[in-house]
Amino acid sequence: MRSFLFVLLAALSIDASASLDDVQLPPGFAIEEYADVPKARSLALGDRGTVFVSTRKARSVYAIVEQDDGSRRVIEILTGLRTPNGIAFFEGDLYVAEISRVIRYDDVEDRLESMPDGVVLDIDLPSDRSHGWRYIGFGPDRKLYIAIGAPCNICNEFGYAKIVRMNPDGSDREIFASGVRNSVGFTWHPDTDELWFTDNGRDMMGDDLPPCELNRAPRQGLHFGYPFCHGDDIPDPRYGRDRDCRDYTPPVQQLGPHVAPLGLKFYTGDMFPPAYRGQVFIAEHGSWNRSKKIGYRITLVRLDGNEAVSYEPFASGWLQGQSVSGRPVDLIVKDDGSLLVSDDYAGKVYRITYKGD
């Protein structure tokens, strides 16, 4: 049995690596396997370059540490968690979000081999599993932001469909954005400090409706439409009959229908050509409820100020016909300017670099 499992795991590894041969990138770019991490989901970068990876379904958190010889060591630092999707690094501490609680692990980069007991923050979160896996992050205002998805496909339930923020200890909680069906990725503009986030559109309106969204929240208190309106001006057939979609904040860019956009990042490095700097990369996890699959790629939204001027594939090829070899989840820009991408389908973290012509 042990020999059979070894052969099976080796075959799976070969298949996952071979899938990178199908990945198409603009000229001069290259993609490689950075690390093996089962069910790799959210990414966070430590002060010393440690890459933290959550797993959600594998119930663990990993750390990827670069060695002096250029190799990388993968350490399973936490186990037995409950849906640990969201992670964030702040002032030396690692924050891990389960469905109904957030746990802080202090001085984490000094204690990777023997993690301290976590401190459960005093934050009241819903326990619904539907859209209940949390995405978290720290903003330039030093506040902890948490997405609370709707507990349904389409409903109007009090206390859901929003992004909240609070102090790092959970105090002074407030609603930052409303009408957000299910955001599993947000980031901040490197120059304006404004919150930008992806939102997954509702299901059961057909193959091509509604679009998923890239949104911008320049200030607190905006409503982004759910469950009344979708995209720019699409009233919901159940909740939008008496609503004017002009009353809500439209997306910066309508994304593909059902592409499931998750993590996003502004490119802030120096490795890629200047035309990519300050532009938005989005990990599209891919559709599950469409007659023909779409997504399963990394897209690029080019901006002129706060206006989107194009929406185009950047890295694609994990979907061949209707066969899937990978599902991008989250992104981070490393200090060297390379772009890391997690893939919970293949159980990998990839590294995209620019090597020039």
Residue 14 above 50 pLDDT?
Answer: no
- Summarised one tens digit per residue, pLDDT across range 154-203 is 999 999 999 999 999 999 999 999 999 999 999 999 999 999 999 999 99
Residue 250 has pLDDT above 60, yes or no: yes
228 within 8 A of 248, measured Cβ to Cβ: yes
pLDDT category at 282 given cuts 50, 70, 90 is very high
Token digits of residue 71: 């190799």
320 falls in which pLDDT band (50, 70, 90)? very high
**Distance of alpha carbon 109 from alpha carbon 93, whole angstroms:** 8
Query: What residues contact residue 198 under an 8 Å CB cut-off, 6+ apart?
Result: 183, 184, 185, 186, 212, 213, 214, 215, 255, 261, 262, 263, 264, 282
Question: How much is the pLDDT for 8?
Answer: 34
pLDDT-derived band at 70 (thresholds 50, 70, 90) equals confident
Taking the C-alpha atoms of residue 108 and residue 42, their distance in angstroms, rounded to an integer, is 17
| Predicted pLDDT at 247 | 98
Q: Above 70 in pLDDT, residue 77?
A: yes
What does CATH list as the number for 20-354? 2.120.10.30
Q: What is the pLDDT of residues 88-113, one digit of tens each?
A: 999 999 999 999 999 999 999 999 99
pTM: 0.94
pLDDT, position 13: 40
At 31 the pLDDT is: 98
Identify which of 52, 54, 56 has the alpha carbon closest to the alpha carbon of residue 64.
Answer: 52
Rg (CA), the chain: 20
Confidence of residue 357 (pLDDT cuts 50, 70, 90): confident
Asked if pLDDT for residue 332 goes beyond 60, the answer is yes
Tokens in use for 128? 């619904």
Residue 64: per-residue pLDDT: 98
Domain edges within the chain: 20-354
Cβ burial of 174 (10 Å; 0-12, 13-18, 19+) is exposed
Averaged pLDDT score across all residues of the chain? 94
Q: What is the mean pLDDT of residues 238-248?
A: 97
> Do β-strands 328-333 and 339-343 pair in parallel, antiparallel, or remain unpaired?
antiparallel
Predicted local distance difference test score (pLDDT) of residue 3: 37
For residue 228, the model assigns a pLDDT of 98
pLDDT band of 213, cuts 50, 70, 90: very high
